[in-house]
Chains A and B, each alone.
Chain A
Amino acid sequence: MSELLDVFIGESRENLESASQELLAIQSSGPASERVDKIFRDLHTIKGSSDLFDIKPLTRLAHAAEDLLDSVRANEVAFSDDIGDLLLEALDQISIWFDELEVGSQDLEQWQPISVNLGAQLRHFIDPNGLDSPGNENNAAHNDLTSSDDKALTDEQRDMLAAFSDNADLKLLSQVEGPFCYHIKYTPDEGCFFRGEDPINVALALPGLKAFNIDMPELNHDADIYNCVTNIEALGCADADAIKQHMAYYEGQYSLTVFTSHALRASCVDKIKDNVALIADQTLSDALKENDLEQVHASAGLLLASQDVSDASFDDAKRAVLKCLSTAGELDFLNRDAQANESGSEDTHIDKDSTAFSAESTSTDSTAGKLGDDSPQEAGGNSPHASVLCGKTLAPHEKAILTQQLTLLNSDSYKSEFMFPSIAGLVGNILGENFSDEDAVAVAICNALDDETIKEQADEVQKQQSAEETSVEASQTEHTAESAEAVSDTKPLSSAEDNAQPVKTERQAVKMLKVDQAKIDYLMDIVGELTVAKNSLPYLAKQAEEEGGSRKLSKQIKAHFSIVNRLTESLQSAVLQIRMVPVSHVFQRYPRLVRDLARKLDKKIELCMQGEDTEFDKNLIESLSEPLIHLLRNSIDHGIESPSERIAAGKSEMGRIDLIATPLDDSVIIEIRDDGKGIDPQKIKLLAFQKGVISEAQLESLDDNEALQLIFAAGFSTSEQVSDLSGRGVGMDAVKTMVSQAGGTIEMHSEVGVGTTFKLLLPQTMSVNRVMMFEVNDQMFGVGMDAVVETVKVPTSDIQRIRNEQVLVIREKLIPLCNLRDALGFEDAEEKEEHSILVVATPQGEFGLIIDKFHEGIDVIQKPLEGVLAGYAHFSGTALLGDGRVLLIINVQEVLAQCL
């Protein structure tokens, strides 16, 4: 420790020397900003370093000088010779103190008034209107020092302690460590368990905890034990910063009062005296009167050791007083405070008092220093609980660090390329995992801050996920190889399953390559254009044959086309594979969701997931998350019965929800299956009727399956009582919309008493669309192939008119027609004998689009509308054709809505 002091003195002397020289230079040649800067820095260093030792007067003086220079630096105060002189005086004073420190003859009590005086003069230059009497400290110094508030505790603080327990003040005093004490009232929210908070263990780990009380109402038999009803009050020794840091996570749930140890001691003087009188031990009383510290220590210690624990007359208060006295650093406070109270001139006394106290704590450890003071306190405060926290849960500082990293990840200024590596490494060090992307880190932090079980689960998912990611990224290499092969081997566009197989086995060995998604998207765009360019080859072949008259050339072009075509397809599939992520990406959030909701509803539910490694396009998977949550909520809320209902129905108490992803060709089926009460079609029909969704006739005619599908009708909620978890009327129709927006379909099957299954059929990739091309008014348009039912050519005479609407009867089915020329704003065509009609399926049924001419189907990369076109709802997107023309893709629903 003395070594540190030596370094400090040595360094500070250099700082003083340099600062003095600069000051003298300024006085002779004017205040150059670099010079002021240098002095500021010197004083800043002295102040900062002195803070490590308990030499408050010096720190304070250096601080005052630093603040003044800061004002000069900022041009708030003009440098004058007066300022220069005063600063030199301050530097000299500090230098003198260093002399004393060096030989160990410092007397902080003497330093104090000098420091106060000089400090006030310095500060007077900063704020001439501030309190300028040297005896008073102005505000800045006020905050620095504990002594100024030392008078005694406020009445409120006294009441607070009294309310905590009888003689709480004495007991706290007898255990006091460090300059600050706190009282905290921690009232956790009812729902805090759901956020993974653990209030009692948080309170037990409070720094410098000395005493606490847990207040708890009675719990009725039907109480929800997952509501937190615990209220905690605690006393301890630590400063406000330490507590705030510890409680940073629980902002708004606690109220904190911090007071100084001196204030506490000052408030206890009377009680100490009373109890000494009650103890009535002659030796002790005499020793106190004579101010014989050693004797007081000895006799108080002896009394404490010899007292009979069972002796009722020896209550807590007396014991606390003896403990205080046996460890007291000095006894003057007993008398001095009395004097101070009588005379009313507390200020100087209190200042002295505090200095004396710090001096005394310094003297216990010859060279002083925060180190010696604080470490035992911290250790004492934390150690009983430390092991609890380290083993299973995170220690508070780890939580704080992790929380900060999460904040950094989420901050607006976050830049992945700069910050991700250090955050990932740091979090990895704490949690012992490796991360490849922000999401994984964020999820891991959230989970780590959560409670244990969840953490374990997440760990697993996490591992799986990172393995999965390996495969995603690996597939890049995989496919390069594959596409090379594809030249000789006419392998068709491979499905995900084919690809996943070899990748899986290599997972462990593959090296990861982290790629920005934007780059992949760019690659995707290029592939899209390549597809388009490739499509121009057949045109070329046709031209070669028709115009150039060379069948041979045409044939060669066609042969090349098939090669290019294959390569392009492989490339496309490879790029799409890179974008694939396993569904566990979204699935991993669900166990927590299910658990929380089930708990909230008092249900027991087990979530079984299958096929989490089924892969999906990243964008698709993200759009999927919300409808899946909705469906899960629905199953939890409306599907699974309460445990008692289940037992009554002869089922096991624990409900089960299966979440299954299965790849099927180019699609993926996601099933959400519950073994709940199922949906009663009759009930649905009745409700739908009541709500006016169906007519009375339909009430009769709808079969059970049709009735079930009514659940997808707008504004339908099956539970009579809408809960806050799902329902609210935006139920299934919203889900259906979201699913169809993602290009998928949804079906539902249900059997009363057995359960309900939702089946989502989704395309695995979203980027390549098969489009049917057709011509209207000499322009090319496209319509998604999946919407096309059939193409027919009918004589004009077959088109009938019913109430001004054109309709067509195909195989005894009435199909409303829409003339696309009208709908798209073209002029009517001249009368024709025959019409080409494209029959499309929509949720409202089949419709016929009257067009001019059919063309072939084509694979295109659909792009969203941009620029001026963006406002037209008629079109869902554009695609480039092989000959360079732009294909507009019709949004069938919109067009029909306008034309019918």
Chain B
Amino acid sequence: MKTVMIVDDASTVRMFHKMLVSTPDRIIEEAENGVEALEKAIGTQVDLFLVDVNMPKMDGYRLCKEIRRNDALRAVPIIMISTESANQDAERAYQCGANYYMTKPVDADMLKSVVSAVIGESANE
């Protein structure tokens, strides 16, 4: 059972991503911003963060940094999903500790495959 946490302030986007990455074998957690994500993640087993960039309270970049500084969460991979495709945003995401960067709206199949690969479920469908 793997847990994927979707962090995005837009509930539509959360729902869309949830629809894409949900499988019977996965637990999907949702958070509206970085603060909520950290609160929920600490004390839970999270296997992957899907993180939006632009969010109130704590944005995606900050969240990445916080996750990387946190002993309990450090090893969790992070996929950043941003509206902006500009290279410097990807650059910044990687500097903050993201493992992978994708642009919105994400290609449905691509997101599915990437998530499967990252959490180590066979990508063969």
Contacts and interface: CB of A to CB of B under 8 A. Distances in A.
Asked if A and B form a direct contact in the complex, defined as CB atoms under 8 angstroms apart, the reply is yes
Interface of A: 3-4, 7-8, 10-12, 41, 44-45, 47-49, 51-52, 241-242, 245, 370-371, 374-375, 378-379, 382, 386-387, 390-391, 395, 397-398, 401, 404-405, 407-408, 411, 413, 418-419, 421-426, 428-430, 432
Contacts of A387: 124
9 contacts: A4-B16, A51-B105, A52-B105, A242-B107, A245-B110, A401-B117, A405-B99, A425-B77, A429-B120
A426 B99 contact: yes
Contact of B12 (A7, A378, A411, A430): A7
A401 B114 contact: yes
B83 interface: yes
B95 interface: yes
Nearest to A423: B99
B12 A8 contact: yes
B26 interface: no
Given A241-B103, A395-B123, A4 B117 contact: no
Given A48-B10, A52-B13, A242-B107, 8 more contacts: A45-B10, A48-B105, A51-B105, A378-B110, A395-B113, A401-B118, A421-B74, A429-B118
Closest 6 CB pairs of A and B: A429-B120, A421-B75, A49-B12, A8-B12, A418-B68, A378-B109
Contacts of A4: 12, 15-16, 19
A395 B83 contact: no
B97 A418 contact: yes
Nearest to B10: A45
B119 interface: yes
B22 interface: no
Contacts of A398: 113, 117, 123
B3 interface: no
B117 A397 contact: yes
A826 B36 CA distance: 74
A416 to B, nearest CB: 11
Contacts of A7: 11-12, 15
A689 B109 CA distance: 70
A845 B20 CA distance: 76
Contacts of A378: 107-110
A375 B69 CA distance: 37
Interface of A is mostly: helix
A48 B104 contact: yes
Contact of B83 (A47, A374, A405): A47
Contacts of B101: 404
A12 B117 contact: no
A422 B83 contact: no
Interface in B53-101: 54, 56, 68-69, 74-78, 83, 85, 94-95, 97, 99-101
A378 to B, nearest CB: 4
A41 B117 contact: no
B75 A422 contact: yes
B10 A11 contact: yes
Nearest to B85: A241
A49 B13 contact: yes
Contact of A419 (B56, B68, B119): B68
A379 B109 contact: yes
A881 B124 CA distance: 65
A423 B118 CA distance: 10
Contacts of A407: 94
B85 to A, nearest CB: 7
Contacts of B75: 421-422, 424-425
Contact of A426 (B12, B56, B77, B94): B77
A382 B99 CA distance: 25
B123 A390 contact: yes
Nearest to A15: B10
B123 A45 contact: no
Interface string B6-46: 00011111011001000000000000000000000000000
A370 B17 CA distance: 12
A375 B125 CA distance: 14
A395 B76 CA distance: 22
Nearest to B75: A421
B99 A404 contact: yes
Given A41-B56, A422-B99, A52 B76 contact: no
Contact of A422 (B10, B77, B95): B77
Contacts of A404: 94, 99-101
A407 B98 CA distance: 12
A391 B123 CA distance: 10
Nearest to A390: B124
A52 to B, nearest CB: 5
A49 B109 contact: no
Contacts of B69: 418
